Structure 1
Amino acid sequence: MTMVMMTVNGNAVNANVDARTLLADFLRQELQFTGTHLGCEQGVCGACTVVVDGKVQRSCITFVADCEGAQVTTIEGFDDDPTMSELREAFSECHALQCGFCTPGMLTTARDIVLRLGDIPEPQIREELSGNLCRCTGYVGIVAAVRKVAAGKSPVAVNRPATISAQPFDGPRPAPASTQATSQAIPRALPTAASTGGGTSIDEQVKVAASPEQIWAVLSDLRRVVPCVPGAEITTLAGDDLTGKIRIALGPIKVAFSGQAKVGMDADNREGWMSGRGRDAGQGSSAEGTARWKVLADGANASVIAVTLSWKLGGPLAQFNRSGLVQDIVRRLAATFAANLEAAISGVPQPAQAGAALGGLRLIWSIVKARLMSWR
C-alpha cells in the first residue's frame, strides 16, 4: 500500500492505495465522483478525461500513486467554472449530446481547447477532439458548440484548473442530488448513490417464528448460520477469525468472492457483529463491509433480528450500488435467510437454493415484479 496526498475538486485527500489502483477507479469507487466515465479502459475513448495539474489526462490509465501532490479536477469540480458554464449552454443549444456518456470527458476536453488554443479554425477543433469518441452525435453539434464558445477568445498562458476553493477532506464525498441528463440540459453533476463512509448502508428487520433463545443458539454457531445465507460457505474457522466464499450472480455478472472476516458475539445481549473483505479473482470485483445483528423478542414464540449492513463494492459489481436494486436484493435475501434459519432451528434439511449463488433470474424477476405491482 502507498500513502498518497492530493487535491481532488478542491478537497485535500489522503489515502492508502494499492500500487496498481487506477485514478478512474479511485475517483469513482472511493470518492464517488461517478461523472468520470469508464468506456474502453485503455486510454482510447476519452470518456474518463480529467484535469491533472492543469492538463487533460486519461484517468483510466493513470495510477493514483503517480498523482502524489497533484491537483485533480473531475467534471463535478467545474460547477462554477465560467468557461465550462459557457460550454454547457453551447452544448445544449447546438444539440451536442444524445446519450450523454461521452459528455463529461468531451466537455473537459472542450474546455482545454478553448483555454489553451482560443479561437481556432474548425479543422483544428476536429483534430483536437479526435481523442474523444462519441457514438451518437456525429460530432457536428460538438464542433459547433466549441466554435461558438471559442469565438473571439485568445489562448491563456496556462490551462488553469477549475476555479474552486480548497477545503479539508474528511472522508468520501457526499452524494449529490440526483440530476437527470437530457439533450436539452447539461448536468452539473451526475447522480450517485447515497452513501455512508464511501459505501452503502441499510437497516433491516428479519422476523423469525422462533424464540430468541432458539435463534441465538443458531446465530452463535457460525457453522450452522452461514449455510442459511444464499451462496455463502465457510472455508476455515479459528476462534473469531474465519475465511470463506460467497457466490453472486446478477445478470451477466457472476463472481465468487474469497476473503477473511472477524466475528464478535455478546451472548448476554444476544447481539453480534462481523467485518470483512474479499475479492473475486475473475471479474476483479472487490467488497468490504460490516454487519451487526441483535435478536429481540416479538411475542410469545416469535422474534425479530435487527440487522445493520454496511458495504462498499468495487469493480464491475459496483454498478449495483447506484440504484435501489441492491436494497431490494438485500431485503429479498433477508426473507430467504429467515426461511432458511427457521428450517435450521426446526431441524428441517436446508432447501437446495440455500447453497446456490446469491441472485439469479428468479430473484431478479421477483424484485422487478414487486416493483411493478407497487406502481399500480
Structure 2
Amino acid sequence: MSTVALSVNARAVEIAAEPRTSLADFVRDKLDLTGTHLGCEHGVCGACTVLIDGVPARSCITYAVACEGADVTTIEGLDEDEVTVELRAAFTREHALQCGYCTPGMLVSARDLVLRLAEPDERLIRIGLSGNLCRCTGYVGIVRAVQSVIAARRARSIAPQVGGGRTCLGPAGSGRAAVDRDPQALQIAPQDKSSARGSIAAADIPDFTPAIVLEQRFTLPHASAKVFAMFDDIAAIASCLPGVALTSPPRPERTEGVIRIRLGPIAAAFEGAARVERDPATLSGRIVGIGADRRSHSATQGEIRYRLVPIDDGAATAVELSIGYNLTGMLAQVGRPGLVRDLARRLVAEFAANLDRHMSGVPPKQESSSELSFWLIATDIVRARIARVFSRRSGAG
C-alpha cells in the first residue's frame, strides 16, 4: 500500500491505496465521488474524464499514485463552475443527453473546448469531443450545446484562454509534485492515515457559492447590542447550537469542531473548521465553515450570514439568517431539500430558545448538545399532516 496525498475538488486528502489503483477507482471507491463513470477502462470512451491540474485526463488509465501533489477536479467539483453551469443548461436546452452515462466526462471535455476555442467551429468541436463516445444522442445536440455556450461567452467579450490552463507537459501530476509545492498547500491534520478519508486542509477555509440557501428569522427579547456581543462569544454560541461541539479553543480566524447528525440509520460526524467575520457598523456577520464525515465520505461547505434589526424601540432584536451550504458524498443522496428545510427550521428554533436562555442566565437544555435527528423532524412532519387532515375534516363537517 502507498499513501497518496493530493487535492480533490479543492480539499486535501491523504489516503492509502494500492500502487495499481487507478485514479477513477480512487475517487469512486475511496471518496464516493461516483460522478466519474467507468466504461471501457482502456482510455477510449472518455466517460471517466476528470481535470488533473486543470487539464482533462482519462482517470481510468491514470494511476492514483502518479497524481501525488496534483489538483484533481471531478464533475462534483464543477457544480458551481461558471462554464459548467452554462453547459449544463445548454445540454438540457439542446437535448444533448439521453441515458446520461457519458455526460460527466462529456461536460469536462466540453468545458475545455469552451475555454480554448475562439469561435464555435463545428469541426473543431467534433474533433475536440472525438475522445468522448456517446451511443444515444448522435452528437448533434451535444455539438449545438457547446457551440451555443462558446458563442454566448464570446458575445459577452469573454476571451478564449490560450492552452486552456495547460502550463506544462508530462505525466499527470508531474507539474505539481509535492516536493515542489508550498508545504502549507496540502497540509494534513495529524490523524490516523489508514482512516483519513476526505481530510480537510488545515490552512484553508475558502469562500464559496452555496448551492442551496435557506432564509430564517426569529426574535429575541434583548437589545441588539447585547445580542451582537453574544454573537462574539464563539464558545457560548456553539453551546446553543444542537449537535455542535468545539474540539479546540475558539478563535475568530479559525474555530475547530464537530457537528453530529443522524439520518435514520445513518450517523454522521462532520469534523471541520470555521471562521467568523463581524461588522459592528451594520450589526451583521458571517460564519464560513467546511467539514467532512469520514464514515460516509461526505463533505460539506456552509455559511451563516446574520443581521440584527432593533425592534420594539430597541427593547428586542430580530435576527435575520441566511443559511447556505453545499453537500457532496453519500449524505447528499438522502439530504433532500425539503428535509433540510425542516431541519433548519427546527435547528433555528432550538438555537433561538437556547440563546434566550443563555442571555437570561438560564443554561441551555441538556438535549441541545445531542446529535441532530431527522427522525424528530419526520415525527413533527407526520404530526403536522395528521393535524391538517383532522382540521380539514372538521371544517368539512
TM-score by length of 1: 0.55
CA separation of 1:365/1:281 partners in 2, compared to 1, >3 Å: closer, same or farther?
A: same
CA–CA separation in structure 2 for the residues paired with 1:64 and 1:107: 15
CA–CA separation in structure 1 for the residues paired with 2:36 and 2:10: 26
Question: Which of 210, 216, 222 is 1:210 aligned to?
Answer: 222
Aligned 8 A contact 1:291 1:307 in 2: yes
Q: What residue is the counterpart of 1:314 in the other structure?
A: 328
**Secondary structure, counterpart of 1:237 in structure 2:** coil
CA separation of 1:231/1:42 partners in 2, compared to 1, >3 Å: closer, same or farther?
A: closer
Question: Which of 50, 65, 68 is 2:55 aligned to?
Answer: 68
- Equivalences for 1:1-376 in 2 at 5 Å? 48=37, 56=45, 59=48, 64-65=51-52, 68-69=55-56, 77=91, 80=94, 104-105=100-101, 162-163=142-143, 164-166=145-147, 167=149, 197=209, 199-235=211-247, 236-299=249-312, 301-370=315-384, 373=387
**Secondary structure, counterpart of 1:342 in structure 2:** helix
Q: Deviations over 1:290-320 (max 9, x none)?
A: 1111111222533211111111011112125
Amino-acid identity (%): 25
CA–CA separation in structure 2 for the residues paired with 1:278 and 1:245: 8
Q: Which moved more, 1:324-333 or 1:203-212?
A: 203-212
Q: Deviations over 1:9-46 (max 9, x none)?
A: xxxxxx7576899779999xxxxxxxxxx9xx799xx9
Quote the offset at 1:74 in angstroms: 9.0
CA–CA separation in structure 2 for the residues paired with 1:342 and 1:78: 48
Quote the offset at 1:271 in angstroms: 1.8
Q: Deviations over 1:200-227 (max 9, x none)?
A: 1112112223232332232221111111
CA separation of 1:54/1:81 partners in 2, compared to 1, >3 Å: closer, same or farther?
A: farther
CA separation of 1:204/1:280 partners in 2, compared to 1, >3 Å: closer, same or farther?
A: same
CA–CA separation in structure 1 for the residues paired with 2:146 and 2:40: 16
Aligned 8 A contact 1:22 1:63 in 2: no
For 1:262, the aligned partner's letter is: R
Quote the offset at 1:160 in angstroms: 8.6
CA–CA separation in structure 2 for the residues paired with 1:161 and 1:366: 46
Q: Deviations over 1:165-223 (max 9, x none)?
A: 242699xxxxxxxxxxxxxxxxxxxxxxxxx9352111211222323233223222111
Aligned 8 A contact 2:47 2:102 in 1: no
Quote the offset at 1:372 in angstroms: 5.7
Q: Which runs of 5+ in 1 are unaligned?
A: 5-14, 28-37, 89-102, 109-145, 150-155, 171-195
For 1:286, the aligned partner's letter is: A
How many residues are treated as equivalent by the alignment? 261
CA–CA separation in structure 2 for the residues paired with 1:24 and 1:74: 25
CA RMSD across the alignment: 4.8
Aligned 8 A contact 1:53 1:70 in 2: no
CA separation of 1:306/1:48 partners in 2, compared to 1, >3 Å: closer, same or farther?
A: same
Aligned 8 A contact 1:231 1:247 in 2: yes
CA separation of 1:78/1:200 partners in 2, compared to 1, >3 Å: closer, same or farther?
A: closer
Quote the offset at 1:81 in angstroms: 5.8
Aligned 8 A contact 1:229 1:354 in 2: yes
CA separation of 1:323/1:352 partners in 2, compared to 1, >3 Å: closer, same or farther?
A: same
**Secondary structure, counterpart of 2:255 in structure 1:** strand
Quote the offset at 1:255 in angstroms: 0.9
For 2:278, the aligned partner's letter is: M
Q: Deviations over 1:259-314 (max 9, x none)?
A: 11111222343222111211112211111121111111222533211111111011
Q: What residue is the counterpart of 1:185 in the other structure?
A: none
Q: Which runs of 5+ in 2 are unaligned?
A: 16-21, 59-74, 76-86, 105-134, 154-207, 393-397
CA separation of 1:225/1:47 partners in 2, compared to 1, >3 Å: closer, same or farther?
A: closer
**Secondary structure, counterpart of 2:56 in structure 1:** coil
Aligned 8 A contact 1:22 1:64 in 2: no
